Chains A and B, each alone.
Chain A
Amino acid sequence: MNINDVILKTVSKGAVLIILTFGIYLFLSGHNQPGGGFIGGLVIASAFVLMFLSYDSETVSDALPIDFKKLSAFGVLLAMLSGIAPMFFGGAFLAQSFGYFNLPIFGKTELATVTVFEAGIALTVVGVVVNIILSISEDE
């Protein structure tokens, strides 16, 4: 089945870029504004799903050699480790801290440890969603 889907492919090339940017924005703005790892992860996952839909899964898998099962496991691990880390500094499990730093380009920026936790969640969500879509599509 080889339908001529030039329009879909061309549009999704641009759209994937926009969706990914928006997803990363949502993810980074998460802990103070609406957004966060879960929603950001869902948006990023939808970009991946769009790629899988418009191109066939072999092409995308070649370009993105990621095992999404392991990606979600890694995400959980990252989130857990960010919870465990404060236990070694005398804090409670899942305790978070933040500070303001002067970075070269961004100027005064807030950096928070909760971002690591959110990153874990985002990776888990991306892994799980893409994995579900792929396992459904593999079944004939």
Chain B
Amino acid sequence: MNNILVLPMLLPIVVGVLLIFLRTYGRIQAWISIAAMVVTAGTSIYLLHTVQADGILRLDFGGWEPPFGILFVADSFSVLLVLTASIVTAVCLSYALISTSKELQTMYFYPTVLFLAAGVNGSFLTGDLFNLFVCFEVMLLSSYVLLTLGNSKRQLREAIKYVSINIVSSWFFLVALAYLYGTLGTLNMAHAAERVAEVGQTPLLTTISLVFLVVFSLKAGLLLYFWLPGSYSSPPIVTSALFGALLTKVGVYALFRIFSLIFYHQPEITHTIIGIMAGLTLIGGSLGAIAFNDIRSIAAYNVVIAVGFMLVGLAIATPEAIEGSIYYLIHDMVAKALLFLLVGTMITLSGSSKMAGMSGLMKNYPLLGWSFFIAMLSLAGIPPLSGFIGKVLISSAAIDSGSYVLLALALLSSIFVLYSLLRIFKNCFWGETIVSKEEQLPLRRGVLLPCLALVVLTIGIGLGVEGLSLYVTDAAETLLNPSTYINAVLGIIQ
């Protein structure tokens, strides 16, 4: 029992509820919520070290022992993601503090972001499938609110699509849970994993796993990403950054957890399908990324490519590939938030989201330009930035396991990422400056600070891989040895 485990979910909720009483104080709300997320990040660093020292931690809510009660489980994988998500949320909140309009700030923006963070952290930490559903819903309900805040016609149109697709997928999730409960009689992840291992993964169970695959693919944007570019490119920029950085990653996390802990006995079916879906996602995302002239759509399609890339790692499922995916997951949260924030800043400055509407921004805003340059290199996987290590590990694992098609698609997609972003860089930052020095909008003071923090983070992750590798190796080992997780959850109460 370790009550600190619940803090990454509890703290944002409690602070978010308190902020509802401070509705009219926009700036105070922002500072309090940033502080809450920083404390959450600190807690997860502490948890990360405790996990290394004491093994996997668990907290049985209300003292109900598994498999009867619900519980939170912290292993290196989930805590690493909680840590990254909390840091990224804190940075996005500080961007909101500097840039967001007054109306948005008093419309419960900060409480909703905190509830979103609570849902995301809860999904990472929970050890119970139904609780995972609940945490998903907490996250999705907050995302519905965030998506519609701002009151523009386009947002409403995209929100209707987003809400309907998510309600359908949540319904599928419930159906899959019912099937699983009907077959196994348990929804505790470790208990379900144990039972699947005992009875063998029968065709029925494999089918149920495919229903889960559909659900999480919808949430993660794996192949079923048709809803994603529209809804990620319509809301205010902070919201897009949060969505791009966090939401799809929760789906990816769920896929990793389910298909490494519970349904890993028939990889020739499940993992092959995941591999095919990942490959198609890479192709579709790459085509989307070069097809548009709207820079927000390009950024949104980059989210899709990254999802495909991470799941190539799961499809290969060797220790090296899983490690690569975890590195890439952490990198992508940081880099996507950075990309969306930079793109948003560019749109605010030039008043247009079309590439044709901006040119020569480099002359007026050099810092912005170079930040974008670094973000681009990082996403394309140029060393020593954070995207590199994940790409190298996944590629070398693909070579080792002979998955040459996936390898080719993964590497080609990196070139497409580079090309799509280079196109933005060339058209928007280089060339003749349209706006003269006198007419240019001044960059609001401090607006680049959050972006610079993320730039430092992406360089830091790239250079500090050595320090991170201890945790990532442990995370990959736990994912590939389900018995460690099962024993920690179903073992004797500490």
Contact = CB atoms under 8 A, between A and B. Distances in A.
Interface string B1-14: 10100100010011
Interface string A94-113: 11100000000000000000
Nearest to A72: B20
A92 B59 contact: yes
Contacts of A129: none
A74 to B, nearest CB: 8
Contact of A96 (B14, B20, B59, B62): B62
B376 to A, nearest CB: 42
A73 B63 contact: no
B441 interface: no
Nearest to A88: B3
Given A84-B10, A92-B1, A93-B6, A77 B18 contact: yes
A66 interface: no
Contact of B13 (A80, A87, A91, A96): A80
Given A87-B3, A92-B1, A93-B6, A80 B61 contact: no
A92 B63 contact: yes
Contacts of A76: 13, 17
> Mostly helix, strand, loop or mixed at chain B's interface?
helix
Nearest to B5: A93
> Mostly helix, strand, loop or mixed at chain A's interface?
helix
A31 interface: no
Contact of B21 (A70, A84, A91): A70
Contact of A92 (B3, B10, B13, B21): B3
Interface in B13-35: 13-14, 17-18, 20-21
Interface string A11-50: 0000000000000000000000000000000000000000
Instruction: Say which size band chain A's interface belongs to.
Output: 10 to 19
B60 interface: yes
Contacts of A87: 3
B17 A73 contact: yes
Given A70-B21, A73-B21, A94 B62 contact: yes
B17 A93 contact: no
Contacts, number: 38
A92 B66 CA distance: 14
In this complex, the member of B3, B10, B59, B61 whose beta carbon has the largest number of chain A beta carbons within 10 angstroms is: B3
Interface string A64-83: 00000110010011001001
Contact of B17 (A77, A83, A84, A95): A77
Instruction: Say which size band chain B's interface belongs to.
Output: 10 to 19
Interface string B310-325: 0000000000000000
B466 to A, nearest CB: 36
A83 B14 CA distance: 11
A69 B20 contact: yes
B17 A80 contact: yes
A69 B20 CA distance: 8
Given A70-B21, A73-B21, A87-B3, A92 B62 contact: yes
Contacts of A69: 20
A96 B61 CA distance: 10
A94 B14 contact: no
Interface in B24-82: 59-63
Nearest to A81: B14
Nearest to A77: B17
B125 to A, nearest CB: 12
A83 B61 CA distance: 9
In this complex, the member of A70, A73, A83, A96 whose beta carbon has the largest number of chain B beta carbons within 10 angstroms is: A73
Contacts of A93: 3, 6, 10, 59, 61-62
Contacts of A70: 20-21
B20 A95 contact: no
B452 to A, nearest CB: 35
Nearest to B3: A87
A23 B256 CA distance: 44
Contacts of B3: 87, 92-93
B61 A94 contact: yes
Contacts of A73: 17, 20-21
Contacts of A77: 14, 17-18
A19 B337 CA distance: 50
Contacts of B1: 92
Interface in B292-327: none
Nearest to A75: B17
Nearest to A91: B63
A70 B18 CA distance: 10
Contacts of B6: 93
A123 to B, nearest CB: 12
A92 B17 contact: no
Contacts of B21: 70, 73
A121 to B, nearest CB: 14
Contacts of A95: 62-63
A80 B13 CA distance: 9
B61 A92 contact: yes
Nearest to B108: A69
A83 B10 CA distance: 10
A93 B1 CA distance: 9
A70 B10 CA distance: 19
Those 3 A-B pairs whose CB atoms lie nearest each other, nearest first: A73-B20, A94-B62, A94-B61
26 contacts: A70-B20, A70-B21, A73-B17, A73-B20, A76-B13, A76-B17, A77-B14, A77-B17, A77-B18, A80-B14, A80-B17, A84-B14, A91-B63, A92-B1, A92-B3, A92-B59, A92-B60, A92-B61, A92-B63, A93-B3, A93-B6, A93-B59, A93-B62, A94-B61, A95-B63, A96-B62
Given A77-B17, A94-B62, 6 more contacts: A70-B20, A73-B21, A92-B3, A92-B59, A93-B10, A93-B59
